[in-house]
Amino acid sequence: MPLPETIRVKLSSEAAEYISLTPVVVQEMPTRELVEHVLAITGKDEARIQDLLLRGALVSGASRFRWTGMEADAVSLRALLASFPDPDPSRVFMASHCVRAILRGPRQPVGIPREAGARRSLLDGVLRRASFWDVLMGIMTPRVPRYCDYSYRDRADIYQLALDPTGAKRVREASRLMRYTALEAQIRGATIESVELYVVREEILPRR
pLDDT at position 204, please? Answer: 53
Mean pLDDT of 43-72: 93
Does residue 160 register a pLDDT over 70?
Answer: yes
Does residue 21 register a pLDDT over 90?
Answer: no
pLDDT at position 125, please? Answer: 53
pLDDT band at 203 (very low <50, low <70, confident <90, very high): low
Mean pLDDT of 77-102: 95
Does residue 44 register a pLDDT over 70?
Answer: yes
pLDDT at position 205, please? Answer: 47
pLDDT at position 142, please? Answer: 82
Label residue 204 exposed, middle or buried (CB < 10 Å: 0-12, 13-18, 19+): exposed
Mean pLDDT of 60-86: 92
pLDDT at position 206, please? Answer: 45
Mean pLDDT of 34-41: 95
